[in-house]
Amino acid sequence: MERKIEKTLLQWKNSRNRLPLILQGARQVGKTHSVLYFGRSHFKNVIYLNFESNTELHRIFERDLSPGRILKELSVYSGESIFEKGSLIFFDEVQACNRALTSLKYFAEQAPGYAIIAAGSLLGIAIRRQDHSFPVGKVRMEYLYPMDFEEFLWAIDQKKSAGIIRESFSTNESCSLHNLFLDYYRSYIITGGMPQVVKEYSASRDLHFVSVLQRNINDAYIADMAKYAGPGETVRIMAAFNSIPAQLAKENHKFQYGVIKSGARAAVYAPAIDWLKASGVIIACNKVSMGTAPLIAHEEPDSFKIYFSDTGLLCAKSGVSFRTIIADSADKSNFRGALTENYVASALFAAGYRPWYWESQGKAEVDFIIQLNNDIIPIEVKSSDNVRSKSLQQFVSRYKSPVSFRISAKNFGFENNIKSIPLYAVFCIHGFEIQ
């Protein structure tokens, strides 16, 4: 399936001062497939090395980290010639071998002509815990998220639909296929963007099979917690993970430690949240006290919201019925607003933005805020076509935003300096420029 990461990888391949590339992302987001597909399309050969399944590889890195010696032994081990200008060396599941991760520094310094990509499902955990061995400044970092809605459309043979959506976004003209695209959006909400799940949906359109795959991925996440964390830490990580649907089901989606367990405190459970973020299982959105640039200067680290990185996995974890999302009865679902907000959060991250949210003394709240250069853009999210909101008006009045986004089930439009964006068009925000 076509992924947008391929353009990033091609730009990396052709860059003049190319460094080894580290591709992060949660388990099952498609890192291995994307790198292999890219490598086979743009290189003479791919040297695939999996450090989790082939522990013998670790011995090659136990001695010195001389690139010349390592390349010779990797060539013998793989049975393939390694060309400086034509081979892609792929270190997969590199978090299983700290020495291999450290070796990237020496490849950058002593063998810069070789193309190396390293990836791993729990690479964020390894980086967080092995700061002393991480090749700071000697690698390029990229992140792969689950497939966004546009990639989902590509996968179900609706690439022309994505083009129509982009055209309407740029012109602000109503889209005549609006209701059809909302149907696709609802399917995406329940399916999510995990490539294996999307592939199954594309082939069968059977959401029962889809839910089985999603539960398997959630189970794999729990297995990772037990494998890569200590016993006490695992219990806390699992408790925090299991609490997320309840956190989002609240009217106020701000994360509350008391929802995990009565009397739970940040001092005990904050490391568990950090672990989940580092693993890519969840994404976080912090509160800002002011809507002026730079937003990070006004961040309140103790006030945040937590979302699943994938809406399909959230649906599977929460047990919400896909019938209530796809059918008209979705309007009656108390969880629909949470799913919609989670979808927008994940879409913004996939588009390359870091979103925050704003709250004014508990009386007004803007769901998301993003920064475009020095401009601050407030984003209001509605799960239906009811778009009345005083909070957005208060924010704009106070901070003089040049434009606002309103994401809802309404069609495209532009009125009172508010750009109306249908739920299915959030991916178009990537690269938006203020006129």
How far is 33 from 28, CA to CA, in rounded Å? Answer: 10
Residue 6 has pLDDT above 70, yes or no: yes
pTM for this structure?
A: 0.94
Residue 5 has pLDDT above 90, yes or no: yes
Query: Is 202 a member of any domain?
Result: yes
Residue 39 has pLDDT above 80, yes or no: yes
Query: 374: domain range?
Result: 149-429
Q: Which residue bears the tokens 């696709």?
A: 184
Domain end (from 122, 143, 164): 143
* pLDDT for residue 320: 84
Residue 330 has pLDDT above 50, yes or no: no
Domain end (from 97, 123, 143): 143
Minimum mean pLDDT range among 132-146, 255-269, 364-378: 132-146
Name the β-bridge partners of 369: 356, 378
How far is 232 from 235, CA to CA, in rounded Å? Answer: 5
Residue 191's Cβ-side half-sphere holds a number of Cα atoms within 13 Å equal to 30
Where residue 98 sits, what CATH number does that domain have? Answer: 3.40.50.300
Q: Mean pLDDT over all residues of the chain?
A: 93
Burial 266-278 (b: 16+ CB within 10 A, else e): eeebeebbbbbbb
Query: In this predicted model, what pLDDT tens digit does every residue of 217-254 receive, in sequence order?
Result: 999 999 999 988 888 899 999 999 999 999 999 988 99
Q: Which residue bears the tokens 């420029």?
A: 433
In total, how many domains does the chain have? 2
Same domain? 350 vs 380: yes
How far is 134 from 126, CA to CA, in rounded Å? Answer: 9
Please state the length of the chain: 435
Domain end (from 111, 143, 175): 143
DSSP 147: P
Residue 114 has which token pair? 């070789």
Contact yes or no for 415/406 (Cβ under 8 A) = no
Same domain? 16 vs 155: no
